[in-house]
A and B are shown apart, each in its own frame.
Chain A
Amino acid sequence: MDYFLTEQQKTIKALARRIAEERILPVRAELDEKEEFPWDIVKELAAADMFRVFVPEQYDGLGGGCLDLCLVTEELSRICSGVAVTYAASALGCMTLMEYGTEEQKRRFLPDIAAGKKLGAFAITEPTAGSDASNIKTTAEKVAGGYLLNGTKQFITNGGEAEIYTVIALTDKTKGARGASAIIVEKGTEGFTFGKKEKKMGIRTSATRELVFRNCLVPEENLLGKPGLGFVQAMRLFDKSRPGIGAQAVGLAQGALEAATDYAQERVQFDQPLITLPVVQQMLAEMAIQTEAARALVYAAARYVDSGAKDVTESSATAKVFASDAAMKVTIEAVQICGGAGYMRDYPVEKMMRDAKILQIYEGTNQILRNAIAVNLRKRKARTA
């Protein structure tokens, strides 16, 4: 299939693939086993300008859009989904800044993100606010000299490792979600510490950690956009970032499909390679269909975001849901084809299957996203009625 990528996009994709194959593949099992943050890989990605891909040119980036980010994420995820999410989460951590930040704020933070010297992270989830994201409790009280943050953020990707955090907190707790604001908090700010480091089923090389704010004073100039718009900003952010999760799913499914195909070709039972068995052929073909359909949908959704369209909620959700469900199915089938070997940690597909599950959960569970799609269907019906 030809997706008519630009020359620059082809270059980006090819280099991301090379990094993944030459630098990530040799260490992926070890990174997973030790649950170690992939700093060496992050440095490789930085040296190759991968963190510049999603940053505008005037802040030392390459000015790529959602699709460019998706291409890198997909290629990294084809080899290791944990590395892919680490990379993509840095983009997530500065997308609100890119969208709503002032010129001064962008100059202050983006060049270091683009150079990969600093990682970004985005923090909205709390113990009481998962799918019910508006139910956050962390406060950012306006005081002399800035905002005083108190509260705990949970399950934060790149937590502890990132330097620049976009935190959604209540600047006006009487207004609930309408009192939320997006504020940048830098690592090392007094009163900002890290809590529990989570032990996960999959994507184990990525860091998932609690952020703890205790009378943490953040300067007023770290507020992104207008106070009270934080929740809306976060929802718009996810509308644009979800194709990235889809891309992570596509890469993962692709990796699993390739691993299963290789195994089916090599493994001989009943005097013939597994791949000559019609039942295995049917399974592999279905996996290939799921993967390619997911890719087409993700690229289309990413291009729609890049077109500047405002109504991207439904297309992004559609791509994320379909691709993540596809990745789950494909990785389960990959383990099945590899049989006993597939269940063992010496083979990559068991890790892929573990890595896939989170894709149906984070950045909006697939159930919540189906709700969002259904809401749009009803709205459309209401408009035409």
Chain B
Amino acid sequence: MNIVVCLKQVPGTTEVKIDPNTNTLIRQGIENIINPFDTYALEEAVRLKEKHGGKVTVITMGPPQADAALREAISLGADEAVLLSDRAFAGADTWATANTLAKAIFKLGKTDLIICGRQTIDGDTGQVGPEMAEMLNIPFVAYVSKIEEIKENYLRVSRMVEDGHEVIETNLPAVITVAKEINVPRLPSLRGIMKSKSAGIATWGIKELGVDANAVGLAGSSTQVIKFFFPQRVSKAEVLTGDAAAQVDKLIDKLKEANLI
């Protein structure tokens, strides 16, 4: 079974700061980590490989330093890794990202299952997985919390919905995104870390993927971030005075005024 895991390197903090001039993340001084949701995707892929054989290939699109995320994935059980890195990829929105990843998966050849995390902790869109499935023209299931059965051309999963679980059957290949309920990711092993340090990682750019520079990155993005801003928190407090009865009257008036009662 050939499994592909798509992962993203993200800042290891939830307090992301935005450069007000460029509207991009300030990455300096922040340690990068594998997007936590993607670690569940990787763990599930490695478990499937351990049970059914085959190999796990991890791919990521990012700057050259995203190599570290791929090496970490190898230390956690991935067999092969591909880094999609090219200046032309920069500034991609989810569509352009999905397009680039889909091209890479197509290039990888026979793939049975593609697993992604449910969303990233920096972009938070959760769009890349489903968009990729559309581009590859294969089935998609989101929020998978359990893989119930997998065999040649067949997958049955349980996925989380608002008020319960849905069991879904589908053909393979397919794309799934996983929820953190699916497993507890392992820690790396010493042998894995040593292997990851010397592992050869392929880097593919637009040439290797055979894509037009206008179909990827900022140029290939149909959306653009115009502005980042934090919602302003306005809190107004008013202290009512007078004796208790007067305060209650005033309070009722205020609540009526605000259409709350």
Interface residues in chain A, defined as those with a beta carbon under 8 Å from any beta carbon in chain B: 8, 11-12, 15, 18-19, 22-23, 44, 47-50, 52-53, 62
* Shortest Cβ distance from residue B189 to the other chain A in the assembled complex, whole angstroms: 5
Residues of A within 8 A of B191 (CB): 49, 52, 62
In the complex, the chain A residue whose C-beta lies closest to that of B192 is A49
20 contacts between A and B (CB under 8 A): A11-B190, A11-B194, A15-B187, A15-B190, A18-B187, A19-B187, A22-B187, A23-B187, A44-B187, A47-B186, A47-B187, A47-B189, A48-B188, A49-B189, A49-B190, A49-B192, A50-B190, A52-B191, A53-B190, A62-B191
What's the nearest-Cβ distance from chain B to residue A244, in Å?
18
CB-based contact A52/B187 at 8 Å: no
Question: In the complex, what's the smallest C-beta–C-beta distance from A194 to chain B, in angstroms?
Answer: 31
Contact B193 A11 (CB under 8 A): yes
Interface majority SS (helix, strand, loop, mixed), chain A: helix
Binding site secondary structure of chain B: helix
Nearest 4 pairs of A and B residues by beta carbon:
A49-B190, A49-B189, A48-B189, A49-B191
Q: Given A12, A23, A44, which contacts B190 in the complex, CB threshold below 8 Å?
A: A12
Residues of chain B within 8 A of A19, CB atoms compared: 187
- Chain A: minimal CB distance from B183 (Å): 14
Q: Is the CB of B194 within 8 A of A48?
A: no
Nearest chain B CB to A169 CB, angstrom units = 35
- Contact at B188–A15, with CB atoms within 8 Å? yes
Residues of B within 8 A of A (CB): 186-194
Query: How far does the alpha carbon of A49 sit from the alpha carbon of B189 in the complex, in Å?
Result: 6
Distance, CA A240 to CA B67, complexed state (A): 41
Q: Which residues of the partner chain B approach A23 to less than 8 Å between Cβ atoms?
A: 187
- The residues of A that contact B192 with a CB separation of less than 8 Å are 49
Q: Which chain B residues lie closer than 8 Å to A53 at the CB level?
A: 190
**B190 close to A52 (CB less than 8 A):** yes
In addition to A48-B190, A52-B190, A62-B190, 8 A-B residue pairs with Cβ atoms within 8 Å of each other are A11-B190, A11-B193, A12-B190, A15-B187, A48-B188, A49-B192, A52-B191, A62-B191
Complex contacts, A48 vs chain B, CB 8 Å? 187-190
- Nearest Cβ distance between residue A7 and chain B, in whole angstroms? 8
Chain B residue with Cβ nearest A19: B187
Taking a contact as CB atoms under 8 Å apart, the answer to whether B194 and A8 are in contact is: yes
Assembly CA distance A52 to B188 (angstroms): 14
**Hey, which chain B residues are within 8 Å of A22, CB to CB?**
187
Assembly CA distance A336 to B186 (angstroms): 38
> Complex Cα distance A11/B192, Å?
11
Q: Is the CB of A15 within 8 A of B193?
A: yes
Residues in A neighbouring B190, C-beta threshold 8 A: 11-12, 15, 48-50, 52-53, 62
In the bound complex, residues from chain A placing their C-beta under 8 Å from that of B193 are: 11, 15
CB distance from A2 to the nearest CB of B (A): 21
Assembled-state Cα–Cα distance A48/B189 (Å): 4
Q: Which chain B residue shows the least CB distance to A50?
A: B190
Q: In the complex, what residues of A have CB within 8 A of residue B186's CB?
A: 47
Name the B residues within 8 Å of A47 (CB-CB).
186-187, 189
**How far is B77's CA from A48's CA once the two chains are assembled, in angstroms?**
12
Q: How far is the CA of A245 from the CA of B96 in the complex (A)?
A: 57
Residues of A within 8 A of B188 (CB): 15, 48
Of listed B187, B191, B192, B194, residue having the most chain A CB within 10 A: B187
A19 to B193, CA, bound (A): 14
A22, A47, A50, most chain B CB atoms within 10 A: A47
Looking at the assembled complex, report how far the CB atom of A119 sits from the nearest CB atom of chain B, in whole angstroms.
18
Give the nearest-CB partner of A23 in chain B: B187
Interchain nearest-CB distance for A4 vs B (Å): 19
Interfacial chain A residues near B189, Cβ < 8 Å: 47-49
